[in-house]
Amino acid sequence: MSAEATNPEARSEARPELRRRGRTRLDLRRLGRAALLGPTSRDRLPDAIGHVAEAHRAHHPDADLSILRRAYVLAESSHRGQMRKSGEPYITHPLAVTLILAELGAETTTLTASLLHDTVEDTEVTLDQVREEFGDEVCFIVDGVTKVEKIDYGAAAEPETFRKMLVATGNDVRVMSIKLADRLHNMRTLGVMRPDKQARIAKVTRDVLIPLAERLGVQALKTELEDLVFAILHPEEYEHTRALIAAHAGERDPLPAIAESVRVVLREAGIHAEVLVRPRHFVSVHRISRKRGELRGSDFGRLLILVGENADCYGVLGELHTCFTPVVSEFKDFIAVPKFNLYQSLHTAFATSDGHVAEVIVRTRQMHRVAEAGVVALGNPYATAAAAAAASGATAGTAEACADPYEERVDPTRPGWLSRLLDWQQSAPDPDTFWSVLRAELAQDREITVFRADGGAPATISLPGGASCIDAAYAQYGEAAHGCIGARVNGRLTSLTSRLSDGDTVQLLLAHDASSGPSADWLEHAHTPAARIAISSWLKAHPDGAAATTTAARAPLSVVGARGGGGNAVADLPDATVRLAGCCTPVPPDAVAGFVVRGGAVTVHRVQCAAVAQMRSLGRTSVAVHWRATADCRVTLLAESFGRPHLLADLTEAIAREGVEVVSATVEPPVEQRVRHSYTLQLPDATGLPALMRAMRDVPGVYDVSRA
């Protein structure tokens, strides 16, 4: 079950911890046959699950195993007489699945449900019987893993089964943990099926189960599934990779010597660490060979360094980069910035004096457990504080601790991708749509987090890498995003098609016109299923499109008044003509600077204006300017708004109500229903400027007013 085991046919050779415990790979066929031999004493566990109990106690020493015995007795008796296609007693399958989860450290409730996961689907046992005997929590998990009836759903049975499991996973991630272990054991024993059925199951595993294992952080299951799928779907490349590994096995491996050098360095630095050589699994070797061409001895594995504390990880990193030659391009810090699947480690690489390059993973032992087992290592993330103290000893009274597992549970560990999936699947009633969109969603292998500028809850939005403002709009507003006409990213106005980066702050702008809707080209820039499904549904319901505001090119509308000059600015230069700069339109009490231009006139700028810095860089000397005691001033304001009838009239009326004179006004042609207005205004009193800007912002359709 090791994530790094090289040979899928000899996994136990890559598990030194198994050898330390004195356990070997189980002969499940023998155990299954033994399970059918007569009754077992009720005061001890049946021999057939003794290895499961041993693996479970290794992670949970105080676990109450009585519920496992009862679950095994029910599973064995209900499956008795059933055989797998391989000829083994059927009980060997739930035993194998439970052993996989026990080795990963799953808690007792998960193992109980795992033993029973096929009883409701394949035997006469009912969910009510499971609930009565083992409680609501075990019943919920078993129901989540149980397939829907093919007789009811026909060809849609498989996608609907996955939909059911994913919805249940949203309430309890242990449902998908059991499904992954179930698929792993089925893949291990897939050789008895027809080649076409092997290929079909392998493709579903590749497209859906492996990405789910990656997202849930269960690397130990993911990597073995990858190898098994690789062997079925790409047999020639698999055999070539097998030959490469076999050839390497007969050569001298440089990694043990490099590992010893690292141990010496860390020992001298006083850092307590365990340094292991981790062989790559088949798919990893294949990827490296395609990336680097001819492989060297150090390419067949990596060094894994385990320490006690987070600070020790960085201490190890410093020693490695000091004592060896680091390969800077290979450094990644997943401790400061964890992956979206809980993964944390430091990745680096260094070159040795003889030319070998060793890749290194540095993590704490707790990080290692989470990296291998993912959500399985979380135990029961839904237990109350009282139940958490006894999490390793689940009993039939679990139902008392969990009032109703069918109600929505608040899971702080639920990742953003799962929340998105649960949202958009409700809008995909068609099984084919759900199935195709699910595969596309799971193909995304990176997540970003953006922040809402409006301060609403939630403060952050999780999106897949490459998402655009369109995706953010539908993630925040749902179908109301049909009326989105623009966005501000990090304070700057941008188009909806702009891609977002991790950490961006996004403010989405919605039109007030109810007839607004998305355009067909939005689909080219939408990456999330929620956005694509919503846009497609709207376009299907509105084949003629929305009543759009005309965007035909035309000259800006301009209204110009008769007044000009420098307002109430006075330059300390006798008889000089003073003009207020149109680029920054200073008003009292702005700090200002003046510069003499052609004709002897003095142009006045705000000191923050870019033109001031440019003038000074050219060696131009500024002229002192002050404001007259009179309070009137001139200012240019920019108003950004949604296009609608009578907007210009409403804005000019709002300006007139404040007693302000319009010197000039320019209205640019609308672009994507957005209109930009520019007003040069003469104010009787500079102190009225904030009130004027507020009055303009209050006009329906106006979403921003700023000084030029």
Q: What is the mean pLDDT of residues 147-157?
A: 70
Instruction: Tell me the C-alpha distance between 408 and 422, whole Å.
Output: 12
Residue 544 has pLDDT above 60, yes or no: yes
pLDDT at 584: 76
pLDDT at 380: 64
* Burial of 279 per CB tally in 10 Å (0-12, 13-18, 19+): buried
Three-class secondary structure of residue 559 per DSSP: strand
**Which two three-digit tokens encode residue 82?**
């059933």
What element of type H or E holds 71? helix 66-79
Please give the sequence-ordered ranges of beta strands (E in DSSP) within 511-650, or none if there are none: 557-560, 569-571, 578-580, 592-596, 602-606, 625-627, 633-642
Instruction: Tell me the C-alpha distance between 610 and 581, whole Å.
Output: 12
- Confidence band (pLDDT; 50, 70, 90) for 605? confident
pLDDT at 383: 56
Residue 14 has pLDDT above 50, yes or no: no
pLDDT at 267: 93
User: Is 133 part of the annotated catalytic residue set?
Assistant: no
Of 11-25, 273-287, 312-326, minimum mean pLDDT range: 11-25
pLDDT at 459: 75
- Confidence band (pLDDT; 50, 70, 90) for 140? very high
Backbone angles phi, psi at 529, to 5 degrees: -60, -35
Residue 656 has pLDDT above 70, yes or no: yes
The predicted-structure confidence for 491-534, as pLDDT tens digits, reads as follows: 777 778 888 888 888 888 876 655 667 888 888 888 888 888 88
Instruction: Tell me the C-alpha distance between 258 and 298, whole Å.
Output: 9
**What is the value of pTM for the model shown?**
0.66
Q: What is the mean pLDDT of residues 69-75?
A: 91
The predicted-structure confidence for 309-355, as pLDDT tens digits, reads as follows: 999 999 999 999 999 999 988 899 989 888 877 789 999 999 988 88
Place of tokens 């376009």: 539
Instruction: Tell me the C-alpha distance between 114 and 93, whole Å.
Output: 10
- Percentage of the chain lying above the pLDDT 70 cut: 80
User: Is 76 part of the annotated catalytic residue set?
Assistant: no
pLDDT at 262: 94
Backbone angles phi, psi at 257, to 5 degrees: -70, -40
pLDDT at 43: 43
Residue 154 has pLDDT above 90, yes or no: no
The predicted-structure confidence for 470-492, as pLDDT tens digits, reads as follows: 888 888 888 888 888 778 888 77
Of 44-48, 125-129, 525-529, minimum mean pLDDT range: 44-48
CA-based nearest residue to 599, from 576, 569, 565, 567 = 576
Query: Do 375 and 106 contact (CB within 8 A), yes or no?
Result: no
pLDDT at 645: 72
pLDDT at 182: 93
pLDDT at 385: 39
Q: Which of 13, 54, 121, 237 is catalytic?
A: 121
Query: Do 532 and 437 contact (CB within 8 A), yes or no?
Result: yes
- Confidence band (pLDDT; 50, 70, 90) for 46? low
- Confidence band (pLDDT; 50, 70, 90) for 672? low
Residue 576 has pLDDT above 90, yes or no: no
Q: Which of 13, 54, 122, 133 is catalytic?
A: 122
**Greatest extent of the chain over all pairs of C-alpha atoms, in Å:** 117
pLDDT at 201: 92
Q: Please tell me the number of Cα atoms within 13 Å of 405 on its side-chain side.
A: 30
Q: Is the pLDDT higher at 254 or at 701?
A: 254
Q: What is the mean pLDDT of residues 50-66?
A: 89
State how beta strands 447-452 and 505-510 pair. Answer: parallel
pLDDT at 653: 83
- CA distances to 67, 99, 117, 573 from 138, rounded to whole Å, are 11, 17, 10, 88
pLDDT at 320: 93
Backbone angles phi, psi at 351, to 5 degrees: -100, 140
Q: What is the mean pLDDT of residues 188-192?
A: 88
What element of type H or E holds 347? strand 346-351
- Confidence band (pLDDT; 50, 70, 90) for 24? very low
Give the mean pLDDT of the chain.
78
Q: Which residues pair with 633 in a beta bridge?
A: 683
pLDDT at 45: 47
- Percentage of the chain lying above the pLDDT 90 cut: 23
Q: Is the pLDDT higher at 555 or at 536?
A: 536
Among the ranges 289-293, 441-445, 668-672, which has the highest mean pLDDT value? 289-293
pLDDT at 229: 93
The predicted-structure confidence for 193-242, as pLDDT tens digits, reads as follows: 899 999 999 999 998 899 889 888 899 999 999 999 999 999 999 999 89
Of 33-37, 82-86, 264-268, minimum mean pLDDT range: 33-37
pLDDT at 481: 85
State how beta strands 447-452 and 346-351 pair. Answer: unpaired
Give the chain's length. Answer: 708
The predicted-structure confidence for 163-175, as pLDDT tens digits, reads as follows: 888 888 888 888 9
Instruction: Tell me the C-alpha distance between 368 and 608, whole Å.
Output: 53
Of 30-44, 331-345, 671-685, minimum mean pLDDT range: 30-44
Residue 557 has pLDDT above 70, yes or no: no
Contacts of 197 (CB under 8 A, 6+ apart): none
